Chains A and B, each alone.
Chain A
Amino acid sequence: MELVFFVLAAFGGSVLAGTLGALLGLGGGIIVIPLLTLLLGVDIHYAIGASLIAVIATSSGAASAYLRDGFTNRRLALFLLLGTSLGAVSGALAARLVGARALYLLFALVIAFTAVAMLRRASISGPRAAATQHPWARRLGLGGGYVDAARGGLVSYNVARVPPALAIMYFAGLLSGLLGIGGGVLQVPTMDMIMRLPFKAASATSNYMIGLTGVASAGVYLARGDIVPVIAGPVALGVLLGAAVGARVLARVRGAAVRKVFVVVLAVVAVQMAAKGLNLA
């Protein structure tokens, strides 16, 4: 494909991916990678490298706003990053070893999982607060709090079951390093259901972690030559712009409707990615 058309298509598609991602609370990666591989014929390793860059960009942009508003539990984020960043490096190192076929199939699974998680999210009424602080959280001071404008005061919370959560974080990082996605789809439910963080704190903290997790594997992709400026550049710009647009539109759309349509889209993409993986030599 003529380079200029490719750059424009990658940019335009990424604007759309970023907008959808912001509307649905997903990172752009889960949309960007099928776009690059299925529609634009990019090698999956380059697509993953570009998506990682996009994930770092959107996470940093969103994390900036969450930090300003005081929702991020930075101590907890840094502690859990020990798990995700080690996972990310191992995932990035493993990505070339497992081969394109396995990556397509794994990606299809993750998309299917995301679709199911999105369907179920509506029916879950939020976690119950933890009554006590886990001993590790007590010793490391991981409990947090934020000012909730709606409730008019400081909401402090305990952090439960730290060790299993840290173990799951390793796998969240592994997926991020293997597939170039943020891993929020695993991180947020873990903080939500297992550690019992309030949802706002969970999503803000996960968002902060995603950027640094991405950096931990980006180095490996860069050194391997998988971060291609003419692919990663337009994708990062597009997703950033899209995320800004999405955040603005968010207030005016009915989330539930978009969500239902998107679950169908995800299901189709999962099948396509699986088929592509199976057809590879």
Chain B
Amino acid sequence: MARQKENARRSDPLARPADVPDQPATPVTPASRDLELAISQTLRYGVLLSALLVSLGLLLLLAGLYLGGGHPTLNTVLAPGGAESLVPRTPGDVWAGLLRREPNALVDLGLLVLIGTPVAGLLLSALQFLRERDYRFVAIALALLVITTASFFLGARA
């Protein structure tokens, strides 16, 4: 099996051992490695925080709906404009819900934290490239920030 692979590799002109590149990889500096670990931690704690908010919100929401003696179904909470409507459309809706102390806004906040988590990692990357004066990648990171942010506005018109 191993010999077969070896033969296949020899007969292929493109083949070369993976660890002999023609150009060294962009060096992994201690600073960029530190940043990578910081992004790793950001993702980890962002997901954990979000999970916490979503679980707490769901428990409070269900408790509130049932302790009030109601029999909510998926359809009643989905009815647009209905009394039990629980669907936010903007981060502003979520904020307003939180101010009214609605438990479903807590779930929404958790979902927003989740959506924001990879974006926070992206911001950290952008700052790193800025510090390294790697302006091409600053531009790439900014373009990505613009695309992800624009999506929150584009959907409203669709």
For the complex, what is the distance from the CA of A125 to the CA of B2, rounded to whole Å? 11
| Of A26-34, A133-141, A252-260, the one with at least 4 CB within 8 A of chain B | A133-141
Query: Are B140 and A57 touching (Cβ within 8 A)?
Result: no
Residues of B within 8 A of A75 (CB): 26, 137
Query: Are A53 and B111 touching (Cβ within 8 A)?
Result: yes
Say whether B30 faces chain A, with CB atoms less than 8 Å apart: no
Query: Are B14 and A130 touching (Cβ within 8 A)?
Result: yes
Q: Identify which of residues 21-66 in chain B touch chain A, using a CB-to-CB cut-off of 8 Å.
A: 21-26, 28, 33, 36-37, 39-41, 43-44, 46-47, 50-51, 54-55, 57-58, 61-62, 65-66
Number of residues from A at the complex interface, CB < 8 A: 82
Q: Mark A187-225, 1 if CB is under 8 A from B, else 0.
A: 000000000001000000000000110111111111111
Say whether B98 faces chain A, with CB atoms less than 8 Å apart: no
Give min CB distance, A104 to chain B, whole Å: 20
* Contacts A79-B140, A227-B111, A233-B111 given; does A131 touch B89 at CB 8 Å: no
Which listed residue, A67, A223, A240, touches B39 by the CB 8 Å rule? A67
Residues of B within 8 A of A6 (CB): 73-74
Say whether B83 faces chain A, with CB atoms less than 8 Å apart: no
Residues of B within 8 A of A56 (CB): 114-115, 117-118
Say whether A68 faces chain B, with CB atoms less than 8 Å apart: yes
Which listed residue, A46, A140, A220, A236, touches B151 by the CB 8 Å rule? A220
Give min CB distance, B73 to chain A, whole Å: 6
Residues of B within 8 A of A240 (CB): 47, 51
- Known pairs A129-B16, A133-B23, A138-B23. 14 more at Cβ < 8 A? A3-B73, A92-B155, A129-B15, A212-B119, A215-B151, A219-B155, A222-B152, A223-B89, A225-B88, A229-B107, A229-B108, A233-B57, A236-B114, A237-B58
- Could you list 30 examples of A-B contacts with CB < 8 Å? A2-B72, A3-B72, A6-B73, A60-B117, A61-B44, A64-B41, A67-B36, A74-B36, A78-B141, A82-B144, A89-B150, A89-B151, A132-B22, A138-B23, A143-B23, A143-B25, A151-B19, A155-B18, A158-B23, A211-B118, A215-B118, A215-B119, A218-B115, A219-B149, A219-B152, A223-B151, A224-B156, A227-B87, A228-B87, A233-B111
A residues whose Cβ falls under 8 Å from a Cβ of B: 1-4, 6-7, 42, 46, 53, 56-57, 59-61, 63-65, 67-68, 70, 72, 74-75, 78-79, 81-82, 85-86, 88-89, 92-93, 96-97, 125, 128-133, 138, 140-145, 151, 153-158, 198, 211-212, 214-225, 227-234, 236-237, 240
